[in-house]
């Protein structure tokens, strides 16, 4: 065993001792061949597997591609020895991606380790789930992780890891976490004695509360109480003190969590216990008081100020007229008047050239944030100098920030124009349309830039716009004559793309109006472009040629070529673009660039967009977000016509056919079957329901030898307050030939419903095809059978009573081939509607008696009883349904009758 360990050590030493890469690769290839042979021969014990897998891991860490050892790593996880299990878990998290087929083999082993009373095994399993986090793993193991978190027997370090693992799962697969159902148990963990556990579970609750605010409102009082115990009662361990500041990270998170809820929640808490408001006010006052005098220790000040700023934000959030806000104003005034505000400006500028790209990125963010009227020229100048050597990944963001700062703090037109033109020259590839069109006064300077041999295309566009609008202002100066302007600008056109040449044609028609001396040259250009292949260029050239050939006394050309009016004031497109680039953070309360007004507008827009997206089918939300980029550039314009307002919620037109109705009818009392089928596509489904939740696996099969492109599937729900139906993820938009894809549809019954969701499938197969069919999601799918004795049944039957909570009908039925009542068929339909068939209740063996309970997430449970009485001689059947809800009785009667009735 010792010699084997020496072999592993020797392998690592050989790799490190290789003088050139070729020798290293030769040694690795030799070792991989030996390991592959050992694995193929088999008969390896756990220790040998561990050793060889460790070599594979080391090889992978060096950057070499490995394609062996996956199965052996899976086997090591199931070992009872810690050293072998540890190597197995390490290999799984490093060598396997989240879609690896091997991960399915380890789910049971991970669940076993989660269930053990061994804390070390628990932690290894939690690490694997958090690091790999495949969809299948998250769905299968979320319950086990939750159990470890809330278990009173779990160790503190296990609880911390479990909370962070759940947070990882929720961020990746939020639909597998029943957030509302777990709310009370998760919030109760905030009372844990260990502040580390509280910190981790608070991070989890912050993520959940942003999406499920009502369910987690109970965390408000918990957060207030914990803050009071830390700040006022000093109830914390010394290990959580950072430079004499008690648990600053936890304080910041708790203060921020409280800001997720409106002040009305505080009033509700105050009604429940007056101590809440008093303790919160006292806590905030104590935080502000303790921060009144700064310390000489920088780390202490940083931690204390982080807590202070969150406390000030919370005080303003709760009541802008409270005495706490007055105290906060005094403290903020002290920071504003501080002479140390920008004392580290030089150090930050030097950090732009740090070796670590993360430091460079933070330095860029900090310089952007600290820029003001006094230091803007210095900071922008440094950023421009650094832009020439900056990392490619930072350039686009730098261009945006330089343009915003230049626009915001421009002290003169000259500095603004010079800066923007330097920006275009240094990084023209990253300069968008928002930047170049902003230059309004730069004719002379841009002309000089255009004379350079390698002028960027963005500079040509700037030159075309500015010289076309303002070139006449410099035409009388030496070196800037109309002929010289034309020659310099036109010499660049041959290297430009069609959109830029289109802009130059617009410049030329403006020159026809103001520079008659070069009109013949310009008309020749229009004549030449009338015959190009590009439709846009050709159309412009033809129109401009007609305008240029008008008689001199015609005023049309003069009216068409009037100067552009000033742009109306509106939200900066540059700032909007930067905010889109920075994207949303995990904290949805985080502010964006632009000040209080812009943040209020952003919050209103975000709320509106979320409400709109909630009304859209799943597959349409992606296209909507893509279109928003273009719509943002049209800020301030109302493009919505009144007639379009109500069309988004139109009910899809159902596809009709006898087979469709037959398939749908069968699936109302079956768990799986065909929904639709034609020569091109087959749609099938499998379903399972538990309580008020359900899941449908919908299968789409391409029956032809050509792919179905632009494939989309959406679900329409007419009453979203009664039932919700959403796809777990957006499907692929191409269905390959003769293949099948699957989508999972998550369903929740909130209240009693009578209208069924509609599935719409559209695709291209030579022509556009659209299919809309009802989904067999009926109210009885959320039934759960209930067993009763004869006495209990009739007692409840009489208790419910007759109309209106009774629904009864008589309808014709078919007999079987022997002329008897088809009793098995009748029982199959009743049980398929999730009724429990009660034996021995009715003395007539042909009659069927059933009982069930409907589960809803909002209205709770609703009882339902059924009696089916067929008559062989009359070929008729009487169906009676009684329920504590009139709607349920009527709907169940309709569903069961439709399945039994003879057409």
Residues 261, 251 contacting (CB under 8 angstroms) = no
CB neighbours of 634 closer than 8 A, spacing ≥ 6? none
Closest CA to 807 of 760, 761, 757, 865: 865
**DSSP H or E run through 864:** strand 860-871
pLDDT of amino acid 338: 60
Q: How would you list the strands of the sheet with 681-690, edge to edge?
A: 672-677, 681-690, 693-702, 740-749, 723-727
Cα separation, 788 vs 793, whole angstroms: 6
Is residue 564's pLDDT more than 90? no
CB neighbours of 140 closer than 8 A, spacing ≥ 6? 107, 111
Overall average pLDDT of the 24-51 stretch: 86
Structure-model confidence comparison of residues 307 and 373, the more confident one: 307
CA 397 to chain centre: 22
pLDDT band at 621 (very low <50, low <70, confident <90, very high): very low
Give the long-range contacts of residues 802-807, CB within 8 A, separation 24 or more. Answer: 802/882, 804/886, 805/882, 805/883, 805/884, 805/885, 805/886, 805/889, 806/880, 806/881, 806/882, 806/889, 807/880, 807/881, 807/882, 807/889, 807/890, 807/892, 807/893
pLDDT of amino acid 480: 78
**DSSP H or E run through 867:** strand 860-871
Residues 841, 849 contacting (CB under 8 angstroms) = yes
> In angstroms, what CA-CA distances link 354 with 351, 386, 394, 477?
5, 12, 14, 47
Mutual orientation of helices 103-115 and 119-132 as an angle, nearest 10°? 150
pLDDT of amino acid 637: 38
How many Cβ atoms sit within 10 Å of the Cβ of residue 393? 10
**DSSP H or E run through 772:** strand 767-774
Tens-digit pLDDT profile for residues 799-858: 888 888 899 999 998 888 888 888 999 999 999 999 999 988 888 888 999 999 999 998
Tens-digit pLDDT profile for residues 573-589: 555 555 555 544 456 55
CB neighbours of 288 closer than 8 A, spacing ≥ 6? 308, 311, 312, 315, 324, 327, 328, 331
Question: Could you say which DSSP state residue 429 is in?
Answer: G
Tens-digit pLDDT profile for residues 336-388: 666 554 555 676 777 777 777 777 777 777 777 777 777 888 888 888 888 77
Residues 708, 735 contacting (CB under 8 angstroms) = yes
Q: What share of the chain is helix, strand, coil (3-state, %, to 5)?
A: 55, 15, 30
Cα separation, 68 vs 55, whole angstroms: 11
**742 Ramachandran zone, left/alpha/beta (phi>0; psi -120 to 50):** beta
SS3 757: coil
Tens-digit pLDDT profile for residues 155-199: 999 999 999 999 999 988 888 889 888 888 888 888 888 999 999
Burial class (CB in 10 A: 0-12, 13-18, 19+), 476: exposed
Is residue 648's pLDDT more than 60? no
Cα separation, 457 vs 492, whole angstroms: 8
pLDDT of amino acid 524: 87
């Amino acid at each position: 065993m010792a010699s084997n360990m020496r072999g592993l050590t020797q392998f690592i030493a050989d790799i490190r001792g290789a003088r050139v890469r070729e020798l290293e690769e030769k040694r690795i290839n030799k070792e991989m061949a030996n390991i592959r042979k050992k694995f193929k021969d088999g008969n390896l014990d756990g220790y040998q597997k561990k050793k060889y897998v460790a070599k594979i891991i080391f090889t992978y860490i060096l950057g070499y591609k490995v394609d062996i050892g996956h199965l052996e790593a899976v086997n090591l996880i199931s070992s009872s020895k810690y050293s072998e299990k540890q190597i197995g878990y390490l290999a799984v998290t490093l060598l396997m991606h989240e879609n690896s087929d091997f991960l399915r083999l380890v789910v049971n082993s991970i669940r076993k380790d989660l269930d053990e009373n061994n804390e070390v095994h628990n932690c290894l399993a939690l690490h694997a789930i958090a690091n790999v986090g495949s969809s299948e793993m998250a769905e299968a193991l979320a319950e086990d992780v939750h159990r470890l978190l809330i278990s009173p027997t779990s160790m503190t370090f296990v609880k911390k890891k479990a909370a962070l693992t759940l947070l990882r799962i929720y961020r990746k697969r939020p639909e597998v976490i029943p957030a509302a159902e777990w709310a009370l148990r998760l919030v109760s963990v905030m009372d844990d004695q260990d502040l580390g556990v509280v910190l981790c579970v608070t991070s989890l609750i912050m993520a959940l509360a942003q999406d499920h605010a009502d369910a987690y409102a109970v965390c408000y009082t918990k957060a207030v109480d914990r803050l009071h115990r830390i700040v006022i009662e000093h109830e914390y361990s010394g290990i959580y003190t950072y430079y004499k500041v008690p648990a600053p990270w936890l304080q910041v998170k708790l203060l921020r969590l409280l800001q997720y809820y409106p002040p009305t929640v505080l009033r509700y808490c105050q009604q429940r216990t007056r101590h809440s408001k008093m303790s919160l006010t006292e806590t905030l006052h104590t935080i502000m008081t303790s921060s009144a005098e700064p310390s000489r220790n920088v780390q202490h000040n940083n931690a204390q100020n982080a807590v202070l700023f969150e406390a000030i934000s919370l005080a303003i959030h709760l009541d802008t007229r409270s005495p706490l806000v007055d105290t906060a104003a005094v403290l903020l005034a002290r920071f504003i008047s501080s002479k140390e505000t920008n004392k580290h400006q030089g150090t930050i500028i030097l950090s732009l050239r740090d070796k670590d790209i993360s430091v460079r990125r933070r330095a860029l963010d900090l310089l952007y944030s600290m820029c003001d009227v006094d230091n803007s020229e210095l900071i922008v100048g440094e950023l421009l100098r650094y832009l020439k050597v900056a990392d490619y990944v930072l350039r686009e963001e730098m261009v945006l920030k330089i343009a915003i700062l230049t626009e915001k703090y421009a002290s003169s037109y000259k500095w603004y124009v010079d800066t923007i033109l330097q920006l275009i020259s240094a990084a023209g590839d990253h300069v968008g349309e928002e930047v170049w069109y902003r230059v309004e006064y730069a004719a002379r300077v841009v002309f000089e830039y255009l004379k350079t041999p390698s002028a960027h295309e963005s500079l040509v566009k700037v030159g075309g716009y500015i010289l076309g609008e303002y070139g006449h202002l410099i035409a009388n100066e030496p070196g800037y004559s109309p002929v010289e302007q034309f020659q310099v600008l036109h010499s660049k056109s041959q290297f430009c793309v069609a959109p830029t040449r289109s802009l130059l044609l617009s410049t030329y028609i403006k020159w026809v109006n103001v520079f008659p001396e070069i009109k013949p040259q310009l008309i020749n250009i229009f004549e030449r472009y009338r015959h190009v292949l590009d439709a846009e260029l050709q159309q412009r050239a033809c129109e401009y040629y007609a305008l240029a050939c008008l008689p001199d006394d015609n005023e049309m050309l003069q009216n068409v070529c009037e100067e552009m009016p000033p742009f109306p004031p509106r939200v900066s497109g540059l700032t909007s673009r930067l905010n889109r680039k920075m994207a949303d953070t995990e904290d949805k309360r985080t502010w964006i660039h632009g000040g209080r007004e812009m943040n209020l507008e952003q919050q209103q827009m975000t709320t509106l967009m979320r409400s709109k997206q909630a009304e859209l089918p799943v597959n349409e939300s992606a296209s909507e977000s893509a279109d928003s980029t273009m719509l943002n550039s049209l800020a301030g314009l109302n493009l919505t016509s009144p007639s379009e307002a109500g069309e988004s919620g139109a009910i899809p037109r159902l596809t009709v056919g006898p087979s469709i109705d037959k398939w749908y009818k069968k699936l109302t009392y079956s768990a799986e079957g065909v929904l639709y089928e034609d020569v091109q596509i087959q749609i099938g489904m499998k379903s399972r329901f538990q309580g008020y939740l359900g899941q449908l696996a919908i299968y789409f099969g391409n029956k032809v030898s050509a792919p179905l492109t632009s494939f989309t599937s959406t679900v329409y729900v007419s009453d979203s307050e009664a039932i919700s139906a959403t796809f777990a993820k957006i499907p692929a938009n191409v269905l390959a030939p003769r293949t099948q894809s699957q989508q999972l549809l998550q369903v929740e019954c909130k209240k009693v419903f009578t209208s069924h969701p509609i599935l719409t499938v559209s695709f291209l197969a030579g022509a556009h095809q659209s299919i809309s069919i009802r989904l067999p999601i009926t109210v009885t799918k959320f039934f759960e059978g209930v067993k009763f004795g004869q006495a209990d049944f009739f007692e409840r039957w009489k208790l419910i009573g007759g109309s209106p909570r009774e629904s009864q009908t008589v309808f014709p039925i078919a007999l079987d081939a022997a002329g008897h009542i088809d009793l098995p068929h009748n029982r199959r339909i009743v049980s398929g509607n999730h009724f429990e068939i009660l034996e021995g209740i009715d003395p007539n063996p042909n009659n069927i008696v059933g009982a069930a309970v409907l589960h809803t997430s909002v209205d709770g449970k609703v009882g339902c009883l059924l009696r089916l009485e067929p008559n062989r001689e009359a070929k008729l059947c009487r169906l009676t349904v009684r329920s504590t809800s009139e709607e349920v009785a009527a709907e169940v009667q309709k569903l069961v009758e439709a399945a039994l009735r003879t057409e």
